[in-house]
Structure 1
Amino acid sequence: MNDGPDELLSPRTLAARGPRFQESPTRALTPPIDVATTYIRDADNGYPMGRVYGRSDNASVQHAEAQIAALENARSAMLFNSGMAAAAAVFMALDPTHVVVPTLMFRGLQRWLRGIGRHGHELTAIDMADTGAVRQAIRPGRTGLVWIETPSNPLWTITDIAAVAACAHDAGALVCADSTVATPVLTRPLDLGADIVMHSATKYLNGHSDVVAGVLAVRRPGALWSRIQEFRSQQGAVIGPFDAWLLARGLKTLDLRVREQSRSAALLAARLAAHPAIATVLYPGLPDHPGHDVARRQMAAGFGGMLSIRLRGGAAQAIGVAARVALWERATSFGGVESLIEHRASIEGADSPCPDDLLRLSVGLEDPGDLLRDLMQALEAAP
């Protein structure tokens, strides 16, 4: 568990410096990696440092958790060994209830939720960008959780977090917001009324495509939070100390990376929107995006580094463009320093709600002019 941040510090400073590490006897500037699995008791059978076992008491993990808690303006953060593990922990820790989820959301979690009935939950999937639909879907006294993902993957729809939180709380329900794409640099869901914020830390928080991790953060830990913590410990859904150390290192550049990636994505979105081969550019920073006004209210310093393009020539042209890029890498995942391109429908399968003419773009830290030229040549060469 970790205390909240010093609110006088900006997110950029919080990211660059992180919480001061106090336990190194050498006073090293960089925290060491704590690989211990167990800790020594005193003669009176106590634990003077408060640590018992590495599964729940690792110093490297706790250091990264404190960094994320500070960035999210949270009281406490909890790391897991994947984003899926973090998300699943919320649903597994809940007593059987009615849950409202978005129709458009991370495909892995969506597939997992299709089997959630074995845990006793009842699911209703809706267009979460439509606050009226959210209000109608929530059942006062019966709905226990509303799950938000904003911007949603891979169509980048926007949910009004404050409005949905108000609807949910009026009915006695909690709100968990997947803020993986926005990151705490652009949006802090807890400040907007969410009860829990979730990230696939594999993506922007780490930012270097070398760690798989997930995290949850809360401002007011309660009974559900304690059950989630117990679930993590008993199921062993913990992140390793080296991965936690890498994540803590990646967080130091989070603010600079996300701001620069957002600027580059905005430039690319504006230029690609005028290309005759492209039917639609999906990016919340564009004025004609349906969620632009809400995004402008709840996303500070940019609209994120993710966008999608839909090709007039359909699936064949989309796959052809992805095949002809030289600088963009054809790979799954997003949020790293490298720019990635992916034909999502091929990855998600035949029952995917993703249009087959869509390419998902994760904008990295390369020069945006170089990225644009590479896309342009691929667009011209594709049939």
Structure 2
Amino acid sequence: MAQEIDFQKCGFGTRMIHAGQAPDKAYGALATPIYQTSTFCFDTVEEGSSVFSGERVGFAYTRGGNPTIAALEAKYAALEGGEAAIATASGMGAIGGVLVGLLSQGDHVIRGTCVYGCTDQVLRETMSRYGVEVSEVNTGDLEAVKNAIKANTKLIYFESMTNPTMVLTDIEAISKIAHEKGIKVVVDNTFTPPPEIYPLQLGADFVVHSSTKYINGHGDVIAGAIIGKAEDLLPIRKGITSKILGTTPGPIDSYLVLRGMQTMELRMKRHCDNGLAIAKFLESSPYVKKVYYPGLESAEQHDLAERLMKGNYGGILSFELKEGIQGMTAYDACKKVVNAFTIPSIAVSLGDPGTLVEHAASMTHGNVPEAERVKAGITNDLIRVSVGLENIEDLLADFQKAFSVLA
């Protein structure tokens, strides 16, 4: 019998290739089989009863568990260094699973000022329908976070790096404040997945991901993940994601994410290298008013980025153009540049092999009230770029060509 790999002693790339995946015991298949089935059979009534009762480990119905999904969950846990993970059918399925699983009527939540548009809508509009109070706080202001805590505060929720303003939060500091009051910390780490930031190592209780993005990395799957301690995740799995929400992913999508994660170390290195190169290009452009990318040495949060990201600054950034170029507003100038791109595609999402650009105010954050968008720094002239895996020489040439329309 082959010895098991000790993943605690392995590097990131080795974990992402092997964690959760071993040759199939039935036929020796190297790739994890796709168990495309809704239900599982038992030899006896007694066997089925023992699986349903939890006395025996096994699978009964794919909404509650499936070998392909279980392999993905093991790899998710290894990704963040967590004890366990729940795979979900989308990033919002993961966020919903945590919120519904942890909160009850009368509870209070502290949320970051700037979050993903759909998350903002849930926190701003939906949670109040169930008697949950939500306070919006700049999580970069530790005193403001302390002052926002109430006797009924159960949760602090924020993004490791905000979408789309690229502001980092000191996860370790927030976690210390929260845990002194018995409050759980949930971090959406979609924008800065390992090997960039490890929220659980910094004290967070839960990490959520839209695996659609960097984790899958190929733009062909919708998926999500919740990662944390096994005892914390068990009630969420049993009562929420597999039942009231029913957000268990399908086996085929799970297989595709498994496959995508095996190249994650190589992909993230290229995303980070290309992201920094494009950020430097934008910073040097006479037409650009501001670049939002903490990896730049000129960035206000560069020291925090160094501490959290250790040189892996990611491939996602935003920028604003100056007013008055050719007599245009900054927004009109942005539209002109974006429409001139050849390689980047105009689309939401991020973490794809190809570079994507989007206008956040009208696309990903279009459902956020305008006053709240402006308060969060999401202006009408802000363009978000997910820098892809193309050869950087080609990307830089395309950016230079696109910006030439402003000359």
Residue matched to 2:211: 201
* Contact 1:337/1:364 (<8 A) preserved: yes
Amino acid in structure 1 at the alignment position of 2:40 = Y
Please report the TM-score for the alignment, with normalisation by the length of structure 2.
Answer: 0.89
Residue matched to 2:91: 83
Q: How many Å apart are 1:315 and its aligned residue?
A: 0.6
* Contact 2:23/2:30 (<8 A) preserved: no
Residue matched to 1:339: 355
Is the alpha carbon distance of 1:50 and 1:22 closer, same or farther for their aligned partners in structure 2, counting shifts above 3 Å? farther
Q: Does 1:66 align with 2:90?
A: no
* Contact 2:346/2:358 (<8 A) preserved: yes
Is the alpha carbon distance of 1:277 and 1:144 closer, same or farther for their aligned partners in structure 2, counting shifts above 3 Å? same
* Contact 1:100/1:138 (<8 A) preserved: yes
* Contact 1:5/1:74 (<8 A) preserved: no
Q: How many Å apart are 1:43 and its aligned residue?
A: 2.0
Residue matched to 2:312: 302
Q: How many Å apart are 1:277 and its aligned residue?
A: 0.4
RMSD, aligned CA: 1.7
* Contact 2:20/2:73 (<8 A) preserved: no
Q: Equivalent residue of 1:346, what SS? A: coil
Residue matched to 2:65: 57
Deviation digits for residues 57-99 of structure 1 (CA, Å, limit 9, x no counterpart): 1111111111110111111100111101110111112223110
Instruction: State the alpha-carbon separation in 1 of the partners of residues 19 and 270 from structure 2.
Output: 20
Q: Does 1:105 align with 2:108?
A: no
Instruction: State the alpha-carbon separation in 2 of the partners of residues 278 and 24 from structure 1.
Output: 57
* Contact 2:85/2:230 (<8 A) preserved: no
Amino acid in structure 2 at the alignment position of 1:346 = S
Residue matched to 2:326: none
| Alignment equivalent of 1:95, drawn from 81, 89, 104 | 104
Amino acid in structure 2 at the alignment position of 1:36 = T
* Contact 1:5/1:70 (<8 A) preserved: no
Is the alpha carbon distance of 1:286 and 1:377 closer, same or farther for their aligned partners in structure 2, counting shifts above 3 Å? same
Judge which range, 197-206 or 93-102, deviates more. Answer: 93-102
Q: Equivalent residue of 2:225, what SS? A: strand
* Contact 1:306/1:363 (<8 A) preserved: yes
Please report the TM-score for the alignment, with normalisation by the length of structure 1.
Answer: 0.95
Instruction: State the alpha-carbon separation in 2 of the partners of residues 333 and 315 from structure 1.
Output: 21
Instruction: State the alpha-carbon separation in 1 of the partners of residues 160 and 397 from structure 2.
Output: 29
Instruction: State the alpha-carbon separation in 2 of the partners of residues 170 and 307 from structure 1.
Output: 34
Amino acid in structure 2 at the alignment position of 1:109 = T
Instruction: State the alpha-carbon separation in 2 of the partners of residues 155 and 363 from structure 1.
Output: 15
Instruction: State the alpha-carbon separation in 1 of the partners of residues 336 and 153 from structure 2.
Output: 45
User: Unpaired runs of 5+ in structure 1?
Assistant: none
| Alignment equivalent of 2:286, drawn from 276, 279, 302 | 276
Judge which range, 373-382 or 50-59, deviates more. Answer: 373-382
Q: Does 1:138 align with 2:149?
A: yes
Is the alpha carbon distance of 1:229 and 1:298 closer, same or farther for their aligned partners in structure 2, counting shifts above 3 Å? farther
Q: How many Å apart are 1:301 and its aligned residue?
A: 4.3
| Alignment equivalent of 1:180, drawn from 190, 204, 216 | 190
Amino acid in structure 2 at the alignment position of 1:226 = P
Q: Does 1:227 align with 2:236?
A: yes
Instruction: State the alpha-carbon separation in 1 of the partners of residues 189 and 88 from structure 2.
Output: 16
* Contact 1:183/1:205 (<8 A) preserved: yes
Q: How many Å apart are 1:37 and its aligned residue?
A: 1.2
Q: Once superposed, which parts of structure 1, at least 4 consecutive aligned residues long, lie more than 6 Å away? A: none
| Alignment equivalent of 1:164, drawn from 164, 174, 187 | 174
Residue matched to 1:376: 400
Deviation digits for residues 229-250 of structure 1 (CA, Å, limit 9, x no counterpart): 4211113111110000000000
* Contact 2:275/2:317 (<8 A) preserved: yes
Q: Does 1:285 align with 2:295?
A: yes
The alignment-based identity, stated in percent, is 33
Q: Does 1:126 align with 2:137?
A: yes
Q: How many residues align?
A: 378
Q: Equivalent residue of 1:342, what SS? A: strand
Q: Equivalent residue of 1:281, what SS? A: strand
* Contact 1:195/1:220 (<8 A) preserved: no
